[in-house]
Amino acid sequence: MKAYKELSKDELLTLKEQLNKEYEDVKAKGLKLDMSRGKPAASQLDMEMDFLNVLDENSVLKAEDGTDCRNYGILDGIFEARKLMGDMLGVPAENVIICGNASLNIMYDTIARSMIFGVMGSTPWCKLDKVKFLCPVPGYDRHFAITEQFGIEMINIPMTSTGPDMDMVEKLVSEDEAIKGIWCVPKYSNPQGITYSDETVKRFAALKPAAKDFRIFWDNAYAIHDLYEETSEELLDIISECAKAGNPDMVYEFCSTSKVTFPGSGISAVASSEANLDFIRKTMTVQTIGYDKINQLRHVKYFKDIHGMKEHMKKHAAVMRPKFDAVLEILEKELAGLEIGSWVKPGGGYFISFDAMEGCAKEIVNKCKEAGVVMTGAGATFPYKKDPKDSNIRIAPTFPTPEELAIAADLFVLCVKLVSVNKLLGEM
């Protein structure tokens, strides 16, 4: 297939006319499809309805240590839930605190705690002239929204095939005391699906930050979210690596069962050093007497152990994998060789990252919306929603039905072609 940039003006004009006609035909169908967020499909939620039957009025609602889960107490969460989530992350139960239904909530609280109370005796961030965070890009929009809300200055760090640009990370954190943290989605990163290499994890663990209260915010959201069992990717444990490197307190690790059981009714966890957890407990004990232990017990009884959890995730993968494969197949079939876009095949997670020609992402997303398919907003994968190249688009294939997905993907590639042709004609 001939690259678009090699076409003459007349060829591009002819192509534009053809693409415009196809686009108007699709618009006439009156589509109303949503590919904006990484949500599980209804079919995924349906297959775990038996989760609701694990406990009933006849159940013995006691933890292994005899704790009555119906009552107050157990700030850290019941031990067996701490072990289940610890095994999910590859860390001991003693390094884990179980919280509510969303890890995003814990991350928000951790930033808020640092702003108000500081970090383990440091000056509260709200009293400093400047607080900065490093943000690997493209990245997770909700991370950026948290730091933006607190007035924290965000610095873009380019992603590579092995994780963030560590030369840049090492240089910046060692030179600037105002840099207090970095956001990371280390396995099947949002949106590119990149798993950090062992070397990258070890370089993170060995960082020498100028700020003593610098922390790595390690959002391990997709720890067990493999799409292809035969190519499951392994992530080195950051907590033990930090301890080996003499930086035991430098990382907070977060996870949840939001895309394992029901997204609105899961359990979440933070894992860290004992010193960090002690500091977290001091504010948590004022915030709450303890999170939902009945839900913690329900998760433990449902999965029994990490093996049960991983077997359950294979069911999710069986539903999701054909959707990812279908989108990737359409991208390959329709766009390969045209040199108007590139994409990464993820091994897990919930997204496909697409890079259009520079200056085209917003227009592609707008064209899709105009024709009835809502995508994640262009720029969302960058701090302040400002993609300097206006090229990255996050594709979320999971929520639509297979039939809807095929229609949406066809429209997407049509919009990529049309906007790219217009850009090339505009440059002539």
pLDDT digits over 158-214, tens only? 999 999 999 999 999 999 999 999 999 999 999 999 999 999 999 999 999 999 999
- Mean pLDDT of the 275-287 span: 97
- Residues 156 and 118: beta-carbon distance below 8 Å: no
- The two three-digit tokens of residue 213, written as one number: 């209260």
Distance CA 320, CA 74 (A): 36
**Is the pLDDT reported for residue 37 higher than 90?**
no
**What is the rounded end-to-end Cα distance, in angstroms, of the chain?**
22
Q: Under CATH, which number does the domain 62-303 receive?
A: 3.40.640.10
Q: What is the pLDDT of residue 230?
A: 83
Beta-sheet pairing, 373-375 with 33-35: parallel
Q: Report the distance separating Cα 175 and Cα 171, nearest Å.
A: 6
**Domain 4-44+311-426 falls under CATH 3.30.750.80:** no
**Would you say the pTM of this structure is higher than 0.85?**
yes
Sheet architecture: strand order including 341-343: 341-343, 352-356, 392-395
The lowest-confidence range among 26-35, 96-105, 165-174 is 26-35
Residue with tokens 């109303």: 32
Q: How far apart are CA 235 and CA 251, in angstroms?
A: 15
What ranges do the domains of the chain cover?
A: 4-44+311-426, 62-303
Give the DSSP H or E segment for 355: strand 352-356
Closest C-alpha among 350, 312, 335, 320 to residue 88: 312
Exposure on the CB side of residue 303, measured as CA atoms within 13 A: 26
CB atoms within 10 A of CB 220: 25
Read off the pLDDT of each residue in 276-290 and give the average, rounded to a whole number: 96
